[in-house]
Amino acid sequence: MTQELAPIRRDHSPAVSSDWWRDAVIYQVYVRSFADSDGDGIGDLRGVRDRLPHLAGLGVDAVWLTPFYASPQADGGYDVADYRAVDPLFGVLADADDLVREAHRLGLRVIVDIVPNHTSDRHPWFRAALDGGPDAPERALYHFRPGRGPDGALPPNDWESVFGGPAWTRTGDGAWYLHLFAPEQPDLNWEQPAVREEFDSVFRFWLDLGVDGFRIDVAHGMVKAAGLPDIGLREQAKLIGAQVLPFFDQDGVHEIHRAWRRLLDGYDGQRIGVAEAWAPTAERLALYVRPDELHQAFNFQFLTCAWDAGAMRRVIDGSLAATGSVGAPTTWVLSNHDVVRHTTRYGGGERGLRRARAAALLTLALPGSAYLYQGEELGLPEVTELPDAVRQDPAFFRGDGQDGLRDGCRVPIPWSGTSPPYGFGPGGSWLPQPPAWAGLSVAAQTGDPRSTLELYRSALALRKELPGLGDGGALEWLAAPAGVLAFARPGVVCTLNTLDTEAELPVPGRPLLSSAALEFGGGTVRIPGAACVWWAV
Ligand code: NOJ
């Protein structure tokens, strides 16, 4: 299944700067929904390549591509059947190579997704495990167990799938296998050396092709507690990130990350690993970014924080202290392909958009690295009204409600034009785009100084110009009225009014950028509700 490609020399790498990842702004491309080059309504690698100038012009440093590998697409490509092949939906291996080279030519780094916790049920190992019957040696590569109860008809333990229902499925010969996600995503057994060797080889395959790093899916999941003990609680998905569960955030995962760090460090150009890890506390998350482990971990506590000045300040302080204790940068992230877009989370409509614009300036002023999710630079809201017939999130088919469904943040993004698919591609789009999106397209917002797109462009340009932003230098909290956050970075002050009403403060400096219009008078500035301002000091 592996596609052939001539060996690649990495003569196209961007100039190496020291620790580029410590303050990088990394843009998440959900490949299926970014840009479609061939008219099948599904985004692809050539589509991404052709739109790279948008990202270079936006001012981000790197692009993270969600999985584009050979996959039956039971979970949007997070069910991989061949880790070294590009799925025909997204192109061929030469397209990935071309994309990486073109990104590097434009000065953008490329991070790809790696899915080590589980494979697809169509992966050759799992096929062999099923087809070979109870004695197939490949069963050891997964977690096969006999059932409980007199005839083994009950699952081996009480673990639940993150997508709903039991985390076990019974095979035709009576054995059960573990899948923390969909049944089409059997969990690998990381105690097997063959599993470790295979992933080392997959890492090398993509590193040799020139990628700059990996976003590691379910980085907290590969190791399960010995004996697979019962939990004794229901609705376990709600406990993820709140407590250590026998299937997540086990101490044993850190040894795997250490081995990967050694492998990454063996390559030139500072290739990085970023953990998608759900840990109960900022301190436990920081363990993933100790100096000999991964470079970054997504800061989901920031993503899930309420729109509340006190709560935000606590999360910011807690995150900085925890990552600081291990010498790693903090990452700031507001949205991704698994959560409701933050414009909608913050209340939707005009108010949600005002808050989202302000949150963008807050995020980009904090010390560390920031992740942007495609379309947030356009202020896109969640699409809440999708017909059942078009939904693809496996949670929709396994769950019993609409909560937590992830198609609404994955609707293809609007580039231009007045009707769907808004320049997404020459055909349609795999999820319907709302009629109101004409005014939100890249073309419609370009050149309009009040647009969200131009706000992001200005913020990212300023962040590059001002050495005090990004990783450089400390954050010092300043006195501010209730509901307002004010902090200083070297040469810059950031003020965020979280209230819905205007806040009046002494003018902190020369205004650099504001997410809403300001009013000055008598030495004070009136910052409208839900707005953020950067000041030069
Ligand atoms: C996290 C990914 O972001 C999500 O989309 C996926 O469903 C799960 N991991 C399982 O791979």
* CA 35 to ligand 1 centroid distance, Å: 21
Residue type, 95: D
The pLDDT value given to residue 402: 59
* CA 383 to ligand 1 centroid distance, Å: 20
* CA 151 to ligand 1 centroid distance, Å: 34
* Contact indicator for 55, 63 with CB cutoff of 8 Å: yes
Q: How many CB atoms within 10 Å of residue 70?
A: 23
* CA 298 to ligand 1 centroid distance, Å: 13
The pLDDT value given to residue 58: 98
Cα atoms found within 13 Å of the Cα of residue 477, Cβ hemisphere only: 13
Instruction: Collect all residues with Cβ–Cβ distance below 8 Å to 15 and sequence separation of at least 6.
Output: none
The pLDDT value given to residue 241: 85
Query: 508: which 2 tokens?
Result: 């902190």
- The number of the ligand 1 atom at minimal distance from the alpha carbon of 180 is 10
* CA 73 to ligand 1 centroid distance, Å: 12
CA dist 208 to 8, 84, 465, Å?
A: 7, 12, 33
The pLDDT value given to residue 302: 96
* Contact indicator for 350, 337 with CB cutoff of 8 Å: no
Q: Which residue has the tokens 């707005």?
A: 531
The pLDDT value given to residue 397: 83
What backbone phi and psi angles, to 5 degrees, belong to 19? Answer: 45, 50
Residue 338 in contact with ligand 1 by CB distance below 6 A: yes
The pLDDT value given to residue 120: 98
Residue 217 in contact with ligand 1 by CB distance below 6 A: yes
The pLDDT value given to residue 473: 76
Q: Could you tell which of 217, 222, 340, 398 is best to mutate to test the pocket of ligand 1, judged by most ligand atoms within 8 Å of the CB?
A: 217
* CA 78 to ligand 1 centroid distance, Å: 6
The residues annotated with a catalytic role in the active site are 217, 276
Q: Could you tell which of 161, 181, 185 is best to mutate to test the pocket of ligand 1, judged by most ligand atoms within 8 Å of the CB?
A: 181
Q: How many CB atoms within 10 Å of residue 177?
A: 22
Exposure string for 95-129, b = 16+ CB within 10 A, e = fewer: bbbebbbbbbeeebbbbbbbbbbbbbbbbebbeeb
* Contact indicator for 326, 289 with CB cutoff of 8 Å: yes
- Judging by DSSP bridges, how do beta strands 213-216 and 109-114 pair with one another? parallel
Residue nearest to atom 2 of ligand 1 (CA): 217
- The number of the ligand 1 atom at minimal distance from the alpha carbon of 276 is 1
The pLDDT value given to residue 396: 86
Residue 393 in contact with ligand 1 by CB distance below 6 A: no
Between vectors from CA 65 to CA 315 and to CA 331, what angle results, nearest 5°? 15
Instruction: Collect all residues with Cβ–Cβ distance below 8 Å to 515 and sequence separation of at least 6.
Output: 354, 357, 358, 360, 361, 455, 531, 532, 533
- The number of the ligand 1 atom at minimal distance from the alpha carbon of 78 is 11
- The number of the ligand 1 atom at minimal distance from the alpha carbon of 117 is 11
Residue nearest to atom 6 of ligand 1 (CA): 78
The pLDDT value given to residue 3: 46
What backbone phi and psi angles, to 5 degrees, belong to 109? Answer: -90, 160
Residue nearest to atom 3 of ligand 1 (CA): 338
Q: Which residue segments constitute the domains of the chain, with CATH numbers given?
A: 21-119+192-223+239-386+450-463 (3.20.20.80), 124-178 (3.90.400.10), 474-536 (2.60.40.1180)
Closest CA to 374 of 95, 41, 51: 51
- The number of the ligand 1 atom at minimal distance from the alpha carbon of 336 is 3
Residue 218 in contact with ligand 1 by CB distance below 6 A: yes
The pLDDT value given to residue 401: 59
Q: How many CB atoms within 10 Å of residue 65?
A: 24
* CA 311 to ligand 1 centroid distance, Å: 27
* CA 494 to ligand 1 centroid distance, Å: 34
Residue nearest to atom 4 of ligand 1 (CA): 338
Q: How many CB atoms within 10 Å of residue 313?
A: 16
- The number of the ligand 1 atom at minimal distance from the alpha carbon of 118 is 11
Q: What pLDDT tens digit does each residue of the chain (537 aa) get?
A: 444 444 434 455 444 457 999 999 999 999 999 999 999 999 999 999 999 999 999 999 999 999 999 999 999 999 999 999 999 999 999 999 999 999 999 999 999 999 999 999 999 999 999 999 999 999 999 999 999 999 999 999 999 999 989 999 999 999 999 999 999 999 999 999 999 999 999 999 999 999 999 999 999 999 999 999 999 999 999 998 888 899 999 999 999 999 999 999 999 999 999 999 999 999 999 999 999 999 999 999 999 999 999 999 999 999 999 999 999 999 999 999 999 999 999 999 999 999 999 999 999 999 999 999 999 999 999 999 899 999 999 888 876 655 668 999 999 999 999 999 999 999 999 999 999 999 999 999 999 999 999 999 999 999 999 989 988 678 999 999 999 999 999 999 999 999 999 999 999 999 999 999 999 999 999 999 999 999 999
* Contact indicator for 348, 385 with CB cutoff of 8 Å: no
CA dist 370 to 292, 303, 471, 472, Å?
A: 22, 11, 10, 14
* CA 217 to ligand 1 centroid distance, Å: 6
Residue 200 in contact with ligand 1 by CB distance below 6 A: no
Residue 78 in contact with ligand 1 by CB distance below 6 A: yes
What backbone phi and psi angles, to 5 degrees, belong to 353? Answer: -70, -40
Instruction: Collect all residues with Cβ–Cβ distance below 8 Å to 120 and sequence separation of at least 6.
Output: 71, 72, 74, 79, 80, 81, 126, 184, 185
Residue 278 in contact with ligand 1 by CB distance below 6 A: no
* Contact indicator for 157, 225 with CB cutoff of 8 Å: no
Residue 184 in contact with ligand 1 by CB distance below 6 A: no
Residue 79 in contact with ligand 1 by CB distance below 6 A: no
Exposure string for 240-279, b = 16+ CB within 10 A, e = fewer: bbeebbbbbbbeebbebbebbbebbeebebbbbbbbbbbb
pTM for the predicted model, two decimal places: 0.96
